[in-house]
């Protein structure tokens, strides 16, 4: 499958999303650049031939490395390598690598060019597309960050073959989220379940392409999250609280739980019916993802007070009016406490 999408960037050439074989597409995208690669230990061991032509900086795996300390270490390595504003950074990895690379490229010497090769399903359909770059502070997700789109993102579906099943399932949470907010048809395809999607290469490429197209269209319409882009946060309000309070769940698992939890809030608000809420839970279960967590509602509620989507005594929630149709509404914390049945 070879799909190319362009996302407009103000005052610059469009950001290109290429769903293609990385070895075929990368040389042309890097023409004129001698990139410094930022990657992690796992990618370094899996793709030595892909990385061998480039200078590189290798970071540790896992959310615990997505910090300002890691960013500072990369700055120092870049300085040691003589990198300047004309240097070019290439992030090859999953969402943590692309988030960190984008943040470093946007801030080192006030900005360098950069691109991504997204190697996980989650990074292909979500993290690397859209220009949000950030790191965590004291466990709170993406508290330091910026908006800056890469010059390109390469999404090669064949790279998913090296992923653990758990990570692929986690990426599917972002795909089903895209369907919930924007495409009933995509949601319908995801209802087939994990095995059906993974055993059908054409279907897998199709759902990756559709999820990317949804995010690309939303980002192009609302780059800095003034309104429409906030819909992409469905499931993430609860997910980020879960990730703050527990190391048990990877990001996609937290998003899956968040989608179920926030769908139930939509039901309690009267926006969707019990049948749709149950259908969402069942679809997520068929993808092999968790639908509940071991954190009590009061702790989740308290963690929401440090969410980036909070505005004073209100928080922006994504409300489903049906599967595939959504809107954003600010909910007061008092009302939210009632919906969550916090005593």
Nearest in space to 99 (alpha carbons), one of 42, 142, 56: 142
Beta bridge partners of 317: 329
- CATH 1.20.1090.10 positions along the chain are 165-339
DSSP-derived secondary structure for 77-101: HHHHTT--TT-EEEEEESHHHHHHH
Task: Indicate left, alpha or beta for 146 from its phi (over 0: left) and psi (-120 to 50: alpha).
Answer: beta
* Residues involved in catalysis: 110, 132, 174, 215, 225, 229, 233, 236, 240, 251
Cα distance between residue 132 and residue 126, in whole Å: 10
pLDDT score for 1? 60
What b/e readout covers 147-167, taking b as 16+ CB neighbours within 10 angstroms?
Answer: bbbbbbbbbbbebbeebeeeb
Question: What would the two tokens of residue 56 be?
Answer: 């590189």
pLDDT per residue of the chain (343 residues) written in tens, 0 to 9? 678 888 888 889 999 999 999 999 999 999 999 999 999 999 999 999 999 999 999 999 989 999 999 999 999 999 999 999 999 999 999 999 999 999 999 999 999 999 999 999 999 998 788 889 999 999 888 999 999 999 999 999 999 999 999 999 999 999 999 999 999 999 999 999 999 999 998 999 899 999 999 999 999 899 888 889 999 999 999 999 999 999 999 999 999 999 999 999 999 999 999 999 999 999 999 999 999 999 999 999 999 988 878 889 999 999 999 999 999 999 999 999 999 998 7
Nearest in space to 323 (alpha carbons), one of 174, 176, 181: 181
- CATH 3.40.50.1970 positions along the chain are 3-162
Q: Find tokens 């990317």 and name the residue.
A: 212
Sign of torsion, CA 218 219 222 226?
positive
Topology of the domain comprising 165-339: Dehydroquinate synthase-like, alpha domain (1.20.1090)
Q: Which CATH number fits domain 3-162: 3.40.50.2300, 3.60.150.10, 3.40.50.1970, 3.40.50.970?
A: 3.40.50.1970
């Amino acid at each position: 499958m070879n799909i190319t999408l362009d996302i407009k960037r103000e005052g610059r050439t469009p950001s290109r999303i290429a769903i293609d074989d990385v070895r075929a597409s990368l040389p042309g995208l890097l023409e004129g650049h001698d990139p410094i690669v930022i990657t992690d230990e796992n990618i370094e061991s899996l793709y030595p031939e892909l990385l061998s032509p480039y200078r590189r900086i290798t970071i540790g795996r896992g959310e615990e490395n997505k910090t300002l300390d890691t960013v500072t270490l990369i700055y120092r390595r870049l300085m040691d390598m003589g990198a300047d504003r004309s240097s070019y950074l290439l992030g090859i990895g999953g969402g943590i690598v692309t988030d960190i690379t984008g943040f470093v490229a946007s801030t080192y010497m006030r900005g360098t060019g950069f691109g991504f090769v997204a190697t996980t399903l989650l990074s292909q359909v979500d993290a690397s597309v859209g220009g949000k770059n950030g790191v965590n502070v004291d466990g709170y997700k993406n508290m330091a960050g910026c908006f800056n789109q890469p010059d390109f993102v390469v999404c090669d579906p064949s790279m998913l073959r090296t992923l653990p099943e758990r990570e692929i399932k986690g990426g599917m949470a972002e795909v089903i989220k895209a369907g919930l907010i924007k495409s009933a048809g995509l949601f319908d395809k995801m209802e087939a379940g994990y095995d059906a999607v993974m055993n059908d290469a054409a279907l897998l490429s199709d759902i990756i392409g559709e999820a990317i197209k949804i995010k690309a269209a939303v980002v192009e319409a609302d780059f800095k999250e003034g309104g429409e882009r906030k819909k992409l946060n469905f499931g993430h309000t609860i997910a980020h609280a879960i990730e703050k309070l527990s190391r048990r769940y990877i990001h996609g698992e937290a998003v899956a739980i968040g989608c179920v939890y926030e769908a139930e809030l939509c039901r309690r608000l009267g926006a969707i019916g019990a049948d749709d809420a149950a259908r969402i839970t069942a679809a997520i279960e068929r993808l092999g993802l968790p639908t509940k967590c071991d954190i009590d509602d009061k702790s989740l509620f308290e963690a929401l007070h440090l969410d980036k989507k909070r505005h004073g005594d209100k928080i922006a929630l994504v409300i489903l009016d049906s599967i595939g149709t959504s809107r954003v509404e600010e909910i007061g914390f008092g009302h939210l406490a009632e919906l969550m049945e916090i005593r």
